[in-house]
């Protein structure tokens, strides 16, 4: 699996951590942008969930988990 950039990792972490958060506002500092979100959608790491909110797929969770394994 390709190594995730810090911005992509932050993007996936944001969607993982806010999956059940009704507020869902990205708060500064903004470390990722729409480009990372679109890239995650293209790689099937994110999908559109209920209400149009993006949620992590199993592949996205695996990609995020791989960054933790690499940092050990």
**20 within domain boundaries:** no
**Total-model pTM:** 0.84
pLDDT of res. 28: 77
State how far the Cα of 68 lies from the Cα of 30, in Å rounded to an integer: 21
**3 within domain boundaries:** no
H helices within the chain, ranges in order? 6-17, 34-42, 58-70
**15 within domain boundaries:** no
Range of the domain at 60: 38-72
pLDDT of res. 8: 95
Number of domains in the chain: 1
For 26, the 3-state DSSP assignment is: coil
pLDDT of res. 20: 83
Tell me which residues of the chain have a pLDDT lower than 50.
72
């Amino acid at each position: 699996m390709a190594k995730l950039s810090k911005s992509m990792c932050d993007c996936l972490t944001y969607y993982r951590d806010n999956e059940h958060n009704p507020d869902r506002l990205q708060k500064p500092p903004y470390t990722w942008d729409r480009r990372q979100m679109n890239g995650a959608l293209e790689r099937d790491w994110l999908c559109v969930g209920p209400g149009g909110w993006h949620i992590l797929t199993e592949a996205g969770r695996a990609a995020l988990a791989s960054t933790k394994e690499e940092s050990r």
